[in-house]
Structure 1
Amino acid sequence: MLKRYSYFGTHRACMAVVSARSIVDFLHTLCISVVVVVVVVVVVVVVVVVVVVVVVLVVVVVVVVVVVVVVVVAVVVVVVD
């Protein structure tokens, strides 16, 4: 009877250890997953910000070039007349 009780006690302890390890493994996997998701989100945000900045700079350069061309054409028209 003592052996049987001891076996079940040991079995329960082993199951508790296995459960604890499973929980630790799950938390470790969850932590890695969260880190990967955060890194991906940060990279996507940085790429979007860079693209927006480049588009804004291109628009500004185009506007400046158009304004300069209009001013030069206006000056040439006034000087020629």
Structure 2
Amino acid sequence: MPQKQKIVQVKLKDGSISKGIATGNNAAWLCVCGRMEPLLGKSGVLDGGSGLHVQCPDCKRTYLVMPDGNDLALVLKVVEVGTSQKGENE
């Protein structure tokens, strides 16, 4: 049986909305910096404190994949949460 894929919202810090795709608790989306390769992440906990941040290796923007209703559940949306300084976490 093929995995069901759905379009999910990617909410950026500036308030604009982009799109990504999800299957199960995994999501993929393109960073707004123009990086050609997609970012990949899995859903974390509802409070966003799980440490499952996804960071773009090119521009250092960070994102959270938000679960739908329960920790580590199906993907609800992706949210940009910040930008790290270059060199941090490298």
Q: Same fold (TM over 0.5)?
A: no
The structure in which a higher percent of residues are strand is 2
Greater relative CO, 1 or 2 (CA 8 Å, sep 6+)? 2
Structure number with greater Rg is 1
Q: Name the TM-score, length of structure 2 as normaliser.
A: 0.17
Q: Name the TM-score, length of structure 1 as normaliser.
A: 0.18
